[in-house]
Amino acid sequence: MESLLNPAFGNDMEREKQYWFFLLTVAAGWSLVTCRKPYSPPVISGNNDYLVVEGVIAAGSDSTIINLSRTVRIANVNAINPEKGAKMTVDDGQGANYSLIEADKGRYVSTSLNLDNSHRYRLSITTADGQTYVSAYVPVKVTPPIDSVWFRTNSTGVNIYSAAHDPSNNTRYYRWYYTETYVYQADLETKYIFDPTNPDTLKWSRLRTPAEQIHTCYITINTSTININTSAALSSDVIANNLITEIPEGSEKLFHRYSIMVRQYALTQDAYNFWAKLKKNTEQIGTIFDAQPSENTTNLYCISDPSKPVIGYVSASTITQKRIFINWTQVPDWPPYISPLVCRPDFACWPKGSPPQQLLAFGELVPTDTIRSGGCPGIDKPSWTVPAQGAVCVDCRTHPGGKTQKPAFWIDE
């Protein structure tokens, strides 16, 4: 009994209990880790194939552009699935019909419709699989002019704003869509081009014409964000300091010259509510503090099969727009461009009669003789040598979206 009264004995018993408790805890934790199974939510693997309708019926002199696509699975590597081969019309229910044609994959257009603003209009779509979708008849909203578009620099970059007002207080609900265009220049410029059709084979490299330049390109980007605002809570229908977009500091958009075209649309309250909820469901999620996604109400439905969902909201309105340019000299503190590439002209050699496929010259071709010094190593017949570099350093068209054709609206500084 003496040993049972010994304090040391009690400590040993306590330590032993703690030891076994620790082992049991580790074993239970390991069991939880090793028994976990991967879970693939149905939303990721589901094969949903919903029609998506994007666009506005332009009531004035602007072109009506409607984009059709299909939803894709989250796990699908293809982000866009255009709906091709559809037939599309706009009608007022009183006998007037206007057809849209497919300009390219999933993009349907019509020149200015000049609709009667006192009528209501709907969009009708017949897809290639024979299903027919229609929108509700919607009123034409008359959009007030854009008062101004301007930019303001700050510590994180450049912000672009707009302002508008409606003296009649009839608009209240607004949406904006914008298109950005900017100059991109390749790291190196060559004024020469290979021309093996030249009868003088000693001059297979010649000066480029202005139409053949590949140093300066114009990049165009269409907005993918939902930009809306309302003056419903104000006594006057005024939109001031409306943020259109932000250009982060160091963006290539402002290395040379930049332009933005801002388009303004008037919305009905129902259309505004649709876009506000869609914005919340798509752009304002991801943290525990964000609202949970909720079902959105569309004004489109499938009349051939009511069980088929459709995503989108069709509005009709006139469109007002305003463009501004920003030159790099207007943002003098903008960080300079530092190329991630190592681009410099290097001498290239190839056999005579075999002009290079991937290299771009920086001068006229120079014939060499391998027997004399200065010939091309490893080539045992007459050859060409010229300073050259790969297309990624020289051809601005290798940049995504790069086009050398100057847009019709472009104004040089």
Domain boundaries, the chain: 2-34, 43-135, 192-212+343-398
In the chain, % of residues over pLDDT 90: 61
More confident residue, 189 or 203: 189
pLDDT value for 4: 35
pLDDT value for 370: 45
- Sort 250 into a burial class: Cβ within 10 Å, 0-12 / 13-18 / 19+: middle
Q: How many CB atoms lie within 10 A of CB 213?
A: 15
Q: What is the pLDDT of residues 281-303, one digit of tens each?
A: 887 655 555 555 546 689 999 99
Which residues is 134 bridged to in the sheet?
124, 301
Residue 47 has pLDDT above 70, yes or no: no
Mean pLDDT (the chain, rounded) = 84
Q: Once rounded to an integer, what is the mean pLDDT over residues 234-248?
A: 97
Residue 38 has pLDDT above 80, yes or no: no
DSSP state, 208? P
pLDDT-derived band at 203 (thresholds 50, 70, 90) equals low
Q: 192 near 362, Cβ under 8 Å?
A: yes
Q: Give the Cα separation of 284 and 263 in Å (integer).
A: 24
Q: What are the E-state strand segments in 127-256?
A: 132-135, 138-141, 146-154, 157-165, 173-185, 192-194, 205-207, 216-222, 227-230, 238-248
pLDDT-derived band at 333 (thresholds 50, 70, 90) equals confident
- Sort 363 into a burial class: Cβ within 10 Å, 0-12 / 13-18 / 19+: middle
| Least trusted range by pLDDT, from 24-38, 99-113, 254-268 | 24-38
pLDDT-derived band at 10 (thresholds 50, 70, 90) equals very low
pTM of structure: 0.81
- C-alpha closest to that of 59 among 266, 270, 299: 266
Q: What is the pLDDT of residues 75-97, one digit of tens each?
A: 565 567 899 999 999 999 999 99
Q: Are strands 132-135 and 300-302 parallel, antiparallel or unpaired?
A: antiparallel
In Å, how far from its chain's centre is CA 190? 30
Hunting for tokens 């490299």 — which residue is that? 205
Q: Give the Cα separation of 212 and 205 in Å (integer).
A: 13
More confident residue, 388 or 137: 137
Give the CATH number of domain 43-135. 2.60.40
Q: Are strands 315-317 and 216-222 parallel, antiparallel or unpaired?
A: unpaired
